[in-house]
Chain A
């Protein structure tokens, strides 16, 4: 099989190592405020800086370079028209302190997005404030906390299944709740275990559906009944909404609170730290608890409402990540309801197609039919003295981004693959072929991988044990 892929490889000094800062000869500023020492930034010609960053980008890998099946992350191709939208002067040349009457168009877009998301989530109301998925989670849990408090209830436990995303327990501990983890049965929530766990202390039960194994939790409505009967609320982590969007909603599964990952499901770029956007949706009963402001329509005009009766207050400065909101709005308008439903179907089809092609190559624990992603086990690599990590590294040599590895923890030597809806059959076939080809290679080649990338195998252990976290910490 063809391994012609080569990533650019430049030996370059860091920009910071290329010279010294420079003082102006005739500084026009008065003495008291003029700089006395040159800045700690090298004085370089602009083109040298441009070349530096261009070369860095050639040593990088992204969704515009190739296939990126990073499970749980939904790295689909992001259409460029949303970037165009977000660079329009109407989008960028505005200021959060502009009076409402000068920002009616922007507010209208936010109002319509609130409504579209509410419809897609089966929720009553939506706040666009949170700036990331995990931010949405903590906002949602704060809403639940305030709700229980107003009902004079002290509930200090949050129940999670063992398939939960890592951010879920993190949100739980940020709010000082006790975490109760329940084991799965055949990869899904065990209703008996939930029944046993739910009680007077249950504040919230939190899941993703489909879960991190890519399995649809078909007992969601029974779970809702169990948790509601115990007096708790249900939180839907929207990270995997792209597997059900347009087909069903968290509202239809009787969930009370949810967040949307606009930066995943709605085609806005992410990774490398954002920017993200994690709007929160709630039922009618909880609508007055949303963070403020939310956009309202009054007559023909739009305004920001800061006066919700039970609001948990503000969770972000100003009005959410406006440009990400705008991109998601553009994506929803362009796709329309049918387009979004088709995206869901394609995501699930692609995942099952690739799963079918790979399940003979590695082991597939749990039931075969998956939603938007699936998890293989690299257990059989052990016979060759190899690990999942080695296989993941070798995939890089073939020009593919590696899948998510060693997550979820309940699968031994896990490999989590999410092809997304935007990839073609040819791409999936090529990836499956690379996979099979690696399985036939000798151990040495795999263990020494990657060879075709800008950087070879890095010493992850040393990086953790001996962390150098900034340029200033270098010897």
Chain B
């Protein structure tokens, strides 16, 4: 069974979101990386980019398929994890830690409220 930490929020496109002082850090879930298989290439979202919830923000390529990355909420991308460019395998090895994708400024608080809880996400992937 996939690891789904209780202290995180989740998006329907299998992103995890960690909220700290008006900012969120996000990545893809353990379940998502397992479904994708070995990840071999990541195109990160652009720093400074304003995105809306559900916008395409980056691309992930695994041995199985190429998938779009989606913004889990609306807001501005203020930091991206450039380590992933050289070591995309971090997304497989440590999805909730070293495999984080980006940090965003929160554009709309209400969207954060409507993200899924760990329990709700567990239901989603059942």
By a beta-carbon cutoff of 8 Å, the part of chain A in contact with chain B is: 387, 389, 406, 409, 460-461, 464-465
Q: Check if A461 sits within 8 Å of B40, measured CB to CB.
A: yes
Q: Check if B65 sits within 8 Å of A461, measured CB to CB.
A: no
Main secondary structure of the interface of B (DSSP, over half): loop
14 more contacts with CB within 8 A, not counting A460-B38, A460-B63, A461-B38, are A387-B37, A389-B37, A389-B64, A406-B64, A406-B65, A409-B65, A461-B40, A461-B63, A464-B40, A464-B41, A464-B63, A465-B40, A465-B88, A465-B89
Report the tally of A-B residue pairs with Cβ distances under 8 A.
17
Neighbouring B residues of A465 by C-beta, 8 Å: 40, 88-89
Can you report 15 A-B residue pairs in the complex whose CB atoms are below 8 A from each other?
A387-B37, A389-B64, A406-B64, A406-B65, A409-B65, A460-B38, A460-B63, A461-B38, A461-B40, A464-B40, A464-B41, A464-B63, A465-B40, A465-B88, A465-B89
Neighbouring B residues of A461 by C-beta, 8 Å: 38, 40, 63
Neighbouring B residues of A409 by C-beta, 8 Å: 65
Within 8 A of A (CB), among B10-32: none
Instruction: Report Cα–Cα, A464/B63, bound state, in Å.
Output: 8
Neighbouring A residues of B89 by C-beta, 8 Å: 465
Neighbouring B residues of A464 by C-beta, 8 Å: 40-41, 63
The minimal Cβ–Cβ distance linking A429 to chain B, given in whole angstroms, is: 30
Neighbouring B residues of A387 by C-beta, 8 Å: 37
Neighbouring A residues of B40 by C-beta, 8 Å: 461, 464-465
The minimal Cβ–Cβ distance linking B48 to chain A, given in whole angstroms, is: 24
The minimal Cβ–Cβ distance linking B32 to chain A, given in whole angstroms, is: 13
Neighbouring A residues of B64 by C-beta, 8 Å: 389, 406
Q: How would residues 90 to 123 of chain B score, 1 for a CB under 8 Å from any chain A CB and 0 otherwise?
A: 0000000000000000000000000000000000
The minimal Cβ–Cβ distance linking B2 to chain A, given in whole angstroms, is: 11
- The closest CB in chain A to the CB of B39 belongs to A461
- The closest CB in chain B to the CB of A463 belongs to B63
Instruction: Report Cα–Cα, A465/B88, bound state, in Å.
Output: 9
- The closest CB in chain A to the CB of B40 belongs to A464
The minimal Cβ–Cβ distance linking B35 to chain A, given in whole angstroms, is: 8
Pick the 7 closest A-B CB pairs, nearest first: A461-B38, A464-B40, A406-B64, A460-B63, A465-B40, A461-B63, A409-B65
